Amino acid sequence: MHPPGADVVVVRHGEIGTKSEHVGTKMERRLRENLAAVLDDRGVDAEIEQRRFRLRLHTDDPEAATAAAADTFGVVSASPAVRAEPTLDAICEGLTDAAREGYDGGTFAVSARRAGVESAHPFSSTDIEREGGSAVWDAAESAGVDPEVDLDDPDTEFFVDCREDDALVFLEKRAGPGGLPLGTQDPVVALMSGGIDSPVAAWELMKRGAPVVPLYVDLGDYGGVDHRARAVSTTGTLARYAPDRDMRLRIAPAGDAVAAIADAVDVGRMLVLRRFMFRVAAAVAEEHGAVGVVTGEAVGQKSSQTTANLAVTSAAVDLPVHRPLLTVDKTDITARADEIGTFHESTIPAGCERLAPDYPETRGRLGAIEEREPDGLAERASAVVDRLEVADGGDGAAEDPAEGETA
Ligand SMILES: Nc1ncnc2c1ncn2[C@@H]1O[C@H](COP(=O)(O)OP(=O)(O)OP(=O)(O)O)[C@@H](O)[C@H]1O
């Protein structure tokens, strides 16, 4: 919701402010570039102005610019605003206009902040709140609305941010993802299964600044086209948060290796399969300069995700395996998937479920699993990566990596 005449969006970031000046400046630059890429991808015309601890977007489309900012990692909140001279009269006029459009009953409050040197304004933030509150009250009454003030939990909050050179009036602080700008960490490989959890896990790493190389391990006869298509489409959704990155899904054709594992291993089969997937991910990481692997695993969610089994699977590779959902309940993961746009209620049996033996191992021991592993899995993992395919866009089409790989 924006006040009438809004032509600027204030974009706030959070953790960057805790960094040293040198690091903070670099991160702010990265944030600006990332935001420019999201705006460009969505066809939103906006000029970005760098301010101290803030960005401002000057635009004719404040709603679309606010939505773009709220989808950019590192952004804590964004507010479409109207500018006024930094005087009490001009601010009250801005609030009057905002009240006419944005207040049609219920309770309200005016919250003001003043920044800059003390002497810059001959009034305090309390003066703005008191005078501005009267202006809103009068505007409401003259529009036939019965105004009521609630300073603690108002239905409508009018914000004023008064600086030395101008004042901003706005009606909302739309939450962004928070975190750090994408690209401020080295990349990781994201194991994408086509399920609900893995896109959320990948998004969490992206939120902390790490670009991801998305990877789907095609299980051949044990997998399903539905999962592959789903992995492609959720990756496409994630890519909208990072339009200037190569986020195409890499597809590892692992059917032969998985069939060999299914033939050779019964007890501990799922652990051997997971360890194989991690080896494939590690080989992809090496090709792409990635420094870790991220999965959607959570303690106890599947038999392969007990605390004992996570230790056994992690030991397959030297790279760290990041599990940002480790302690998150399924309902919360699902809610987050819904928020970020990757949720899809799926009733298709997962390939892994078809592979699972009747009595899955829940307390694997590393030595015993290593003994059961068929020979040559590391070589098979490398061979699979040599035949990696790259899916383009969200349509599930795969092509030869040699013809399109840019990362
Ligand atoms: N075919 C696959 N290709 C790539 N990664 C996979 C595949 N299957 C599983 N994974 C990875 O292993 C994790 C655990 O998978 P699993 O199917 O056992 O559990 P899950 O908790 O239901 O996860 P999800 O909802 O992401 O499928 C996934 O989150 C994903 O990171």
CATH class, 188-390 region: alpha beta
CA–centroid distance, residue 197 to ligand 1 (Å): 7
Beta strands in 14-74 (DSSP E): 46-51, 54-59
CATH class of the domain whose range is 8-173:
alpha beta
Please give the angle made by the CA atoms of 280, 214 and 243, to the nearest 5 degrees.
Answer: 155
307-314 vs 269-288: helix crossing angle, rounded to 10: 40
Residue closest via CA to ligand 1's atom 18 equals 302
40: left (phi over 0), alpha (psi -120 to 50) or beta: alpha
- Section 362-375 average pLDDT: 92
In angstroms, rounded to a whole number, what is the distance separating the alpha carbons of residues 275 and 204? Answer: 23
Terminal CA-CA length for the chain: 39
Give yes or no for residue 216 having a pLDDT over 70.
yes
Indicate where the chain has its CATH 3.40.50.620 domain(s): 188-390
pLDDT per residue as tens digits for the range 75-88:
999 999 999 999 99
For residue 390, which phi and psi values (nearest 5 degrees)?
-125, 125
Ligand 1 contacts CB of residue 321 (under 6 A): no
**Residue in this structure with the two tokens 């009269």, named with its chain if needed:** 89
Ligand 1 mean position, distance from CA 70 (Å): 28
Query: From atom 28 of ligand 1, which residue's Cα is the shortest distance away?
Result: 296
Determine the Cα–Cα distance for residues 223 and 353; give it in Å rounded to an integer.
10
Q: How far apart are CA 56 and CA 78, in angstroms?
A: 9
Atom of ligand 1 nearest to the CA of 294: 31
Binding site per annotation, positions: 191-192, 274, 296, 305
State pLDDT tens for residues 351-367.
Answer: 566 778 877 889 999 99
CATH 3.30.2130.30 boundaries in the chain: 8-173
Per-residue pLDDT reduced to its tens digit, 240-267: 999 999 999 999 999 999 999 999 999 9
Instruction: Name the residue type at position 343.
Output: F
Mean of pLDDT over the chain: 91
How large is the ipTM? 0.97
Residue 131 has pLDDT above 90, yes or no: yes
- Output the known binding site for ATP: 191-192, 274, 296, 305
pLDDT at 395 over 70: no
Percent of the chain with pLDDT over 90: 78
CA of 273 to the centre of ligand 1 (A): 11
Indicate if the pLDDT at residue 207 is higher than 50.
Answer: yes
Predicted local confidence at residue 222, as pLDDT: 87
7-25: average pLDDT: 91
What is the distance between the alpha carbons of residues 94 and 105, in angstroms, rounded to a whole number? 19
For residues 95 and 110, the answer to whether their CB atoms sit within 8 Å is yes
Q: Which amino acid is at 95?
A: L
- pLDDT at res. 348: 56
Tell me if 254 CB under 6 Å of ligand 1.
Answer: no
195 alpha carbon – ligand 1 mean position (Å):
7
> What does the block give as tokens for 164?
């030395």
* DSSP track, 113-146: EE-S-GGG-SS-HHHHHHHHHHHHHHHHHHTT--
Contact 97, 3 (CB under 8 A): yes
Contact 247, 239 (CB under 8 A): yes
Return d(Cα 85, Cα 16) in angstroms, integer: 29
pLDDT at residue 405 tops 50: no
Q: Is 301 in the pocket of ligand 1 (CB under 6 A)?
A: yes
| Numbers of helices and strands, H then E, in the chain | 13, 16
Query: Taking 80 as the threshold, does the pLDDT of residue 69 lie above it?
Result: yes
Average confidence (pLDDT) over 23-27: 91
279 Cα: distance to centroid of ligand 1 (angstroms): 15
**304-326: b (≥16 Cβ within 10 Å) or e:** bbbeebbebbbebbebebbbbbb
Ligand 1 close to Cβ of residue 295 (< 6 A): yes
pLDDT in tens, 86-130: 999 999 999 999 999 889 999 999 999 998 776 678 889 999 999
pLDDT at 52: 78
